[in-house]
């Protein structure tokens, strides 16, 4: 059976279609990009700040982007670089900015047109970006890398490993960094540790740099052929041949300790106690090291009697430590034949062995042990390495600070993170106490403070723990449950 579409429905659809076709596109009254202080056709050089101003008046729009377009006039090749402007929706823009002209494309020889473009997109659905262009300016340079010269300590002789290497790079129209690489001909690649960038800015015709010829991959006994390569854009220039000579190596350095029994060897712990170490030294091994001199830190030169050497160097002392600091790191750097190797060991002069709650008769409380409110308890810390407290009044030193905390489900806050809508661990009493005979104690009377027992029905326990601080050391106790 056929049905007829009512005439009124057809008329309504026609009206809606006509209205849809009649939605006007987005438009603007003004959209321009101007260069400040530069006119069409101006000649510029890399590194020039291009100051610009964007002006827009029109429908609501967003996503302002600025694009620098580079075109090589002789070859027609091009490249571009973009950055974002203000991204918020707006009816009006009067925005200034600048871009420092730096781009690999500008390192090419010839005449290059540089033009800034601005794009903006109306917020109306289906809108495509509008684009406006600024005036063109031009870079016309003919860069060259003329020479890469290496000044050798002795002409025709290999450079001793670690000796300073003096290099001169000469050229013209070099307006950005010249990348300099040292190529290991035996390995067939550049030595990454020796890469340098010479800071040309167009005002120099040559730059000289000196740095030590030192890289881990070259530290093998023998004479190794090298050459240098300078690169700028598509330009490349190599130096003449040179060689580096390695007569011996230092392969490994370890810190050793002399313990109280007089035995010398590696430290038994990652961080030994100061009192367990009588002396510190190094044990090192090398290749063809025998007969060569070496130094440790700023000490006097020592001639290696063999390829393995052991030297005891110093007696550690509390005087080596900064005030209030419990740890000190000792670093030993061995130097020989241009090679450096280092090793370190950290010693600790004091610490907190353990801490916990005790009853007034000295019995330790177990974790989560129940304690009645109003009970006299002891907070005890067992220490090592700390001197006994001495001095008068506020100058008594060192002192232990015991702080009582009441545990809440919300956890312990850090400064600025306390949230009144959550439970946070509550700080209670704080007590200072002397250090004596490797321990410190403070008394506290238990109390009940738990926000979940508003009617004082003793249904919930208040969980208490304490922290004890002595100098830079801290210990946190187990909890006791107070009802």
Torsion angle in degrees (nearest 10) through CA of 237, 242, 247, 251: 10
Q: What angle do CA 313, 317, 322 make, to 5 degrees?
A: 115
Confidence of residue 130 (pLDDT cuts 50, 70, 90): very high
363-419 confidence digits (pLDDT tens)? 999 999 999 999 999 999 999 999 999 988 888 999 999 999 998 765 555 555 555
Mean pLDDT of the 244-263 span = 97
DSSP string, 170-228: EEES--SPEEEEEEETTTTEE-GGG-EEE---SS-SEEEEEEE---GGG-SSEEEEEEE
Phi, psi of 21 (to 5 degrees): -70, -20
Q: What angle do CA 366, 371, 374 make, to 5 degrees?
A: 140
Per the listing, tokens 């002397």 go with: 434
Confidence of residue 109 (pLDDT cuts 50, 70, 90): very high
Residue of 236 and 408 predicted with greater confidence: 236
Strand partners, 116: 68
> Residue 107 carries which DSSP code?
G
Domain with CATH 2.60.40.10 in the chain: 352-482
Report the C-alpha gap between 292 and 228 in whole angstroms: 30
Comparing 181-190, 216-225, 453-462, which segment has the lowest mean pLDDT?
Answer: 453-462
pLDDT on residue 2: 40
Mean pLDDT of the 83-91 span = 88
Confidence of residue 461 (pLDDT cuts 50, 70, 90): confident
Mean pLDDT of the 70-93 span = 93
Q: Is the pLDDT of residue 78 over 60?
A: yes
Mean pLDDT of the 296-311 span = 97
Report the C-alpha gap between 436 and 386 in whole angstroms: 9
Mean pLDDT of the 250-278 span = 97
- Architecture category of domain 249-348 in CATH: Sandwich (2.60)
Buried b (16+ CB within 10 A) or exposed e, 111-150: ebbbbbbbbbebeeeeeeebebebeebbbebebebeebeb
Cis previous bond, 365, omega within 30? no
5-51 confidence digits (pLDDT tens)? 455 544 444 444 444 455 688 999 999 999 999 999 999 999 999 99
170-184 confidence digits (pLDDT tens)? 999 999 999 999 999
User: Among candidates 165, 184, 168, which has minimal Cα distance to 227?
Assistant: 184
Confidence of residue 356 (pLDDT cuts 50, 70, 90): very high
Q: For 25, what's the count of Cα atoms within 13 Å in the CB-facing half-sphere?
A: 8
User: Among candidates 282, 236, 237, which has minimal Cα distance to 257?
Assistant: 282
From residue 482, alpha-carbon distances to 70, 175, 369 in Å are: 77, 76, 9
Give all strands (DSSP E) within 351-408, no chain letters: 351-359, 369-371, 376-384, 399-407
pLDDT on residue 27: 94
pLDDT on residue 22: 56
Q: 458: Cβ–Cβ under 8 A, 6 or more apart, which residues?
A: 448, 483
pLDDT on residue 417: 57
- Architecture category of domain 352-482 in CATH: Sandwich (2.60)
Which CATH number applies to 144-246? 2.60.40.1930
Is residue 325 a contact partner of residue 365, using CB atoms and an 8 Å limit?
A: no
pLDDT on residue 458: 52
pLDDT on residue 411: 56
Residue of 384 and 2 predicted with greater confidence: 384
pLDDT on residue 456: 53
Q: What's the mean pLDDT when you consider all of the chain?
A: 91
Domain with CATH 2.60.40.640 in the chain: 28-141
pLDDT on residue 454: 54
**CATH class of the region 28-141:** mainly beta
pLDDT on residue 38: 95
């Amino acid at each position: 059976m056929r049905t007829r579409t009512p005439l009124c429905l057809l008329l309504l659809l026609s009206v809606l279609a006509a209205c849809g076709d009649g939605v006007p596109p987005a438009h603007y009254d003004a959209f321009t990009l101007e260069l400040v202080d530069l006119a069409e056709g101006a000649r510029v050089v890399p590194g020039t700040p291009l100051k610009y101003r964007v002006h827009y008046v029109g429908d609501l729009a967003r996503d302002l982007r600025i694009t620098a377009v580079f075109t090589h006039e002789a070859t027609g090749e091009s490249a571009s670089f973009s950055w974002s402007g203000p991204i918020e929706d707006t009816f009006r823009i009067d925005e200034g900015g600048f871009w420092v002209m730096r781009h690999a494309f500008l390192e090419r020889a010839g005449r290059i047109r540089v033009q800034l473009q601005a794009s903006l997109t109306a917020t109306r659905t289906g809108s495509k970006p509008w684009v406006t262009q600024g005036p063109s300016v031009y870079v016309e340079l003919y860069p060259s890398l003329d020479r890469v010269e290496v000044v050798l300590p002795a002409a025709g002789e290999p450079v001793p490993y670690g000796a300073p290497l003096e290099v001169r790079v000469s050229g013209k129209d070099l307006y950005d960094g010249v990348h300099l690489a040292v190529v290991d001909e035996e390995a067939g690649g550049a030595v990454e540790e020796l890469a340098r960038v010479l800071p040309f800015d167009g005002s120099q015709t040559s730059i000289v740099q000196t740095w030590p010829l030192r890289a881990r991959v070259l530290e093998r006994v023998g004479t190794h052929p090298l050459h240098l390569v300078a690169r700028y854009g598509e330009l490349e220039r190599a130096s003449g041949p040179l060689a580096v000579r390695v007569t011996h190596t230092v392969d490994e350095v370890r810190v050793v300790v002399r313990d109280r029994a007089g035995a010398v060897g590696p430290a038994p712990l990652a961080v030994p106690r100061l009192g367990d170490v009588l002396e510190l030294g190094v044990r090192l091994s090398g290749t063809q090291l025998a007969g060569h001199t070496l130094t440790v830190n700023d000490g006097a030169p020592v001639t290696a009697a063999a390829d393995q050497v052991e030297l005891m160097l110093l007696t550690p002392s509390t005087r080596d430590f900064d005030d209030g600091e419990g740890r000190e790191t000792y670093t030993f750097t061995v130097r020989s034949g241009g090679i450096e190797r280092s090793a370190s060991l950290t010693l600790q002069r004091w610490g907190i062995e353990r801490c916990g709650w005790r009853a007034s008769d000295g019995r330790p409380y177990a974790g989560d042990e129940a304690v009645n409110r109003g009970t006299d308890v002891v907070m005890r810390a067992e220490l090592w390495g700390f001197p006994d407290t001495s001095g008068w009044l506020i100058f008594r030193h060192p002192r232990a600070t015991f702080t009582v905390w009441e545990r809440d489900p919300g956890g312990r806050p850090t400064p600025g993170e306390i949230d009144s809508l959550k439970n946070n661990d509550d700080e209670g009493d704080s007590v200072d106490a002397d250090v004596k005979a490797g321990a410190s104690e403070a008394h506290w009377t238990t109390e009940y403070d738990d926000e979940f027992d508003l009617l004082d029905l003793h249904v919930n326990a208040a969980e208490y723990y304490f922290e004890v601080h002595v100098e830079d050391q801290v210990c946190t106790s187990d909890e006791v449950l107070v009802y």
